[in-house]
Amino acid sequence: MSFLFKCLLRRFHEDLKRAIEMSLQDTKPSSPPAIVLDDSDDDDEDMRRAIALSLQDAKGNVNNSSTSEAVKGTQNGQYGSQSSNSAPPTQPASASSNRPPTQSLQVGLLGIDRKAMEQERLARLGKRTRTASPDYRPNKFRRPPNRRAGHEEEEEEDTLADMRFPLGVVKRTWAHKYPRTNDIKLEEVFDPAPKTAILSALHWNDEWVFSKLPPQKTKQIWVMSAKGEELQNKLLGEATEARIPNFRPHFPPMDGNVQHMHSKLMLLFHDDFLRIVVPSANMIKEEWGETNTKDGVSWQPAVLENTAFLIDLPRRQDGTVGAVGQKEDLTAFGQSLIEFLEAMGMRKNAVDGVLKFDFSLTKDFGFVHAIPGTLTSQYADHTGLEGLRTAVQKLGLDDVETMELDYASASLGALKESFLKSLYAAACGRPVSAISDDFLDHFRIYFPTDETVKKSNGGPDCGGIITLNRSYYNNASFPKKCMRNHMSTRQGLLSHNKLLLARGHKKDGTPVAWAYVGSANLSESAWGSQRELKSGKLGKMAVRNWECGVVVPVPEAILQALALKDGEVPPIWVFKDVLEVPFHIPGEPYGDKQPWFFRDFQETAPKE
């Protein structure tokens, strides 16, 4: 039985009294493993090395758990604890800073501190006070949505109270020890508790997810990455054997050159509404701003941040399944989402369940997916880069003459000018041939320098989720002039964001601005690539990852209020009512600094 389902089986079949006793045992000092999860889209060797290193103990020995199973795709990603270089966000992190000692933990197979889990469970029950997001409304005393005659008005009030995001919002993930602003915790995403949840991610901390969303109460489908029919059948069998209530893994097609199921997506089904969440975060606590605890208290500041798009869709009033066999009746957002679910092989009843909700308020957003493969099928003109171009066009954001692009990416592929030109053209909603040769002067790529990672709250041990291959960067074709140091506006945090900010004006001078929030890093694996043939023509587009994201335009009323001169593009503050930009723009050029190379740190880290 694989590492994942051994852990799950243990969690749901061990005696409750024994579990509580274990959770109250004194902690035994030990050195934590380094944080070395690799989210790279382009380098499988980096992924294998990173996961293998994450299973080493403090002496550099391989953990007794099966490394091969972890590498094969069970995706039991957990970060362990943070580096001893940690510093509170109110102080600059430096070698001379006074920092608390590295925390020692008694951990289970997934690196879970059981005593901390019990404290956190009590906290979720209201035993401790939590500071809420400014627009967050707890749902402690909601009535069940019973359909008694004469109570329709009360039920409608309940539904409206639960639907916190009917118009769509973009929020930063919460970060421990930082002031709350326009952010959100995972338990707030799951509030109220959904009846059914479809969750998609590359890396998972299963016990942590189940602590937030107990399968005894919520039916769950986890869309996971597992390549090969043999491995998929093996994991399905183990899930059945584990007898976890209301739980089923799902594996999208991973044939041929498909590399990762990298999309992050949540479909949270309630009686009266569907919550759609498109985050950049995996299902791991550190990516949602949580850190290790001791005696129920977390003293470490957060180490990573992400961004999420959320929207609540009401159930259709007519009670019917909408647009079954008639997808053209849906908004473009809805059509693209349904197409993505069907391409992943999602069961018909799950797809029909999505169609029971009203997508009309998604008309102002674009759902952009990447369906992997060589694009000769029905997806050729509306997935990957072409999907971005199509979304921009359908939202009326195309025909752009001048565009400024700022792209924050957690991992970078083997970037070339030709690929960036294709992406720039897609963002403008125009063909590549219409883009001028100076487009790189208007394209900035945000990725942390080596110094930034080492001075972050978690230090280099937290840098395994941020990847760039040195050979890619040193290639003469790599666009170094576009590189900017990624500095979070919450000092000390590293970014796992995949965030593209676009500001420009059309040929007629009309300003445009929009943001992409999702799972796609800046790589050909995520967006697709076209190889130049011997004839000089471009070959067929090929995508290697499953990805998804949302295009969120700045409202026209905000753009019309700008007093721009001829040729000016909207300023960066134009996004202030749409999202909280999490990094400094325009950013510091690299100069003589070097980007963070995780593999260098991995290969030079001392072995005790």
3-state helix/strand/coil string of 28-48? CCCCCCCCCCCCCCCCHHHHH
In percent, the amount of the chain with pLDDT more than 70 equals: 68
End-to-end Cα, the chain, rounded Å: 31
| pLDDT for the residue 145 | 40
| pLDDT for the residue 277 | 98
- Helix runs in 288-411, H state only: 332-343, 348-354, 384-394
Alpha carbons 137 and 446: distance in angstroms, whole number: 34
Structure-token pair, residue 205: 């901390």
- Helix runs in 260-383, H state only: 332-343, 348-354
- Taking every pair of Cα atoms in the chain, the longest distance, rounded to a whole number of angstroms, is 73
Could you give the C-alpha distances from 317 to 166, 289, 321, 586, in angstroms and in order? Answer: 15, 38, 10, 47
Per-residue pLDDT reduced to its tens digit, 323-365: 444 566 899 999 999 999 999 999 999 999 999 999 999 999 9
Q: How far is CA 591 from the centre of its chain?
A: 30
CB environment 489-527: b (16+ within 10 A), e (fewer): ebbbbbbbbbbbbbbbbbeeebbbbbbbbbbbbbbbbbb
Residue with tokens 């280099």: 460
Task: Based on DSSP, count helices (H) and strands (E) in the chain, helices before strands.
Answer: 18, 21
Confidence tier at 377 by pLDDT (50, 70, 90):
low
The answer to whether residues 487 and 588 touch, using CB atoms and an 8 Å cutoff, is yes
- Based on its alpha-carbon atoms, the radius of gyration of the chain, rounded to whole angstroms, reads 24
Average pLDDT over residues 424-443: 95
The answer to whether residues 158 and 147 touch, using CB atoms and an 8 Å cutoff, is no
| pLDDT for the residue 21 | 45
Of residues 539 and 448, more confidence is placed in 448
| pLDDT for the residue 603 | 61
Q: Tell me if residue 496 is catalytic.
A: yes
| pLDDT for the residue 313 | 96
Average pLDDT over residues 170-185: 97
Return phi, psi of residue 69, to 5°.
-65, -40
Of the residues 176, 203, 250, 262, which is catalytic? 262
Q: Could you tell me which residues come within 8 angstroms of residue 129 by beta carbon, excluding any fewer than 6 positions away?
A: none
| pLDDT for the residue 232 | 85
Q: What is the DSSP letter of 501?
A: E
The answer to which of 224-228, 453-457, 574-578 has the lowest mean pLDDT is 224-228
Average pLDDT of the chain, as a whole number: 77
* Ligand-binding site membership of 127 (annotated): no
**β-pair type (265-269, 273-279):** antiparallel
CA dihedral for 486, 202, 324, 152, sign (positive or negative): negative
Structure-token pair, residue 9: 């089986």
Structure-token pair, residue 548: 């998804």
Of residues 34 and 105, more confidence is placed in 34
Structure-token pair, residue 108: 């289970």
Confidence tier at 445 by pLDDT (50, 70, 90):
very high
Average pLDDT over residues 31-35: 35
| pLDDT for the residue 236 | 84
In percent, the amount of the chain with pLDDT more than 90 equals: 57
Confidence tier at 599 by pLDDT (50, 70, 90):
confident
Q: Give the per-residue SS3 of 137-171.
A: CCCCCCCCCCCCCCCHHHHHHHHHHHCCCCCCEEE
Nearest one of 260, 287, 307 to 501, comparing CA atoms:
307
Confidence tier at 369 by pLDDT (50, 70, 90):
very high
* Ligand-binding site membership of 294 (annotated): no
Return phi, psi of residue 283, to 5°.
-90, 65
Confidence tier at 257 by pLDDT (50, 70, 90):
confident
Say if residue 526's pLDDT is above 90: yes
Average pLDDT over residues 254-265: 91
| pLDDT for the residue 346 | 96
The answer to which of 228-237, 351-360, 493-502 has the lowest mean pLDDT is 228-237
Say if residue 210's pLDDT is above 50: yes
Alpha carbons 516 and 518: distance in angstroms, whole number: 7
Structure-token pair, residue 93: 């992190």
| pLDDT for the residue 289 | 96
Say if residue 422's pLDDT is above 60: yes
Q: Is 440 helix (H, G, I), strand (E, B) or coil?
A: helix
The answer to which of 98-112, 399-413, 566-580 has the lowest mean pLDDT is 98-112
Confidence tier at 538 by pLDDT (50, 70, 90):
low
Q: Tell me if residue 262 is catalytic.
A: yes
Alpha carbons 583 and 499: distance in angstroms, whole number: 10
Nearest one of 368, 353, 210, 343 to 278, comparing CA atoms:
368
| pLDDT for the residue 123 | 52
> What are the structural domains of the chain?
3-117 (no CATH), 154-329 (3.30.870.10), 366-604 (3.30.870.10)
